[in-house]
Amino acid sequence: MKILVAGGSGLVGSAIVRELNRQSQKVIGISSKDINLLDRNRTFEFIKSMSPSVIIDAAARVGGIGGNSAYPVEFLSQNLQIQSNLMDAAHASSVDKFVFLGSSCIYPRNCPQPIKEEYLLTGELEETNSAYAIAKIAGIELVKSYRKEYGHSWISLMPTNLYGPFDNFDLNGSHVLPALIRKFTDAKINNDKVVKLWGSGAPLRDFLHVDDLARAVTICLERYDHESQINIGSGTEISIKELANKIALEVGFTGEIRWDTTHPDGTPRKILDIEKIGLLGWRPEITLDNGLKSTIKWYLEKLGN
């Protein structure tokens, strides 16, 4: 069985490739250096030439509140193109299994907590990332449609906020956790006395180490076959303020943390219900404290400090 991981050099894709290699699977990770998935004809040709049995779609235009707010056209249009090109190409090449990776932002802004899979499309989305969320909801619907019309055993997985090695630490496009690591590390190196952070710090979030996600993906590939998306999360939550304090302590920053409430908080609370994937035999193994330690260590080694 040949497994193709699209987005194989990114945070999620690289973790999935590592896990599949650990399991001695035949896996090939591809990135934008190998194929531009926005090019529909080339994507069809590439998938046909590779002849994979399984495609895991970890390729996407991603970013935090700032990026989503500034570039909604790109987040909607490019993600729609990437996922539809890949799925249509997979169908044309008779790929047996397709795993579509979405995001917990697909769920309504103010839905009950923890968030169950059936809460999808029951309320309004968070405005700051609605374009990205709409694209991912469309991906879920395309998977369901291919299952219905052609009988494909394709599935959709919805991970929570992810972090780990090979994350994006660029402040112009990163998510909250790597952005905090970057800001506190820079402040420590530069002997800054103050770190300014967006929002109030009050929102509650669910963070999962990407290696735990990778294990979940391989388990779902073997044991899950249903049209409904399935949640993958940590089962715990933490406020952004508490997360910032943890990262500051780990990095060694002892100055002032100043919250700028002129910037948006985003969704006030978001924790996924993980009962369904728990029934498949998966549970997270990496605690947030241990995951932060290893991720910060990886980042500092990357910086050469």
Catalytic (active-site) positions = 132
Task: Confirm if 255 and 196 have CB atoms less than 8 A apart.
Answer: no
Contact of 159 with 208, CB cutoff 8 Å: yes
- Tell me 108's DSSP state: -
Return the SS3 of 56: strand
Q: Write the CA distances from 4 to 29, 157, 173, 201, 213, integer angstroms.
A: 6, 16, 26, 39, 17
Give 99's strand partners. 56, 155
What φ, ψ does residue 87 adopt, rounded to 5°?
Answer: -70, -45
Amino acid at 257: I
Which of 98, 113, 128 lies closest to 227, judged by CA? 98
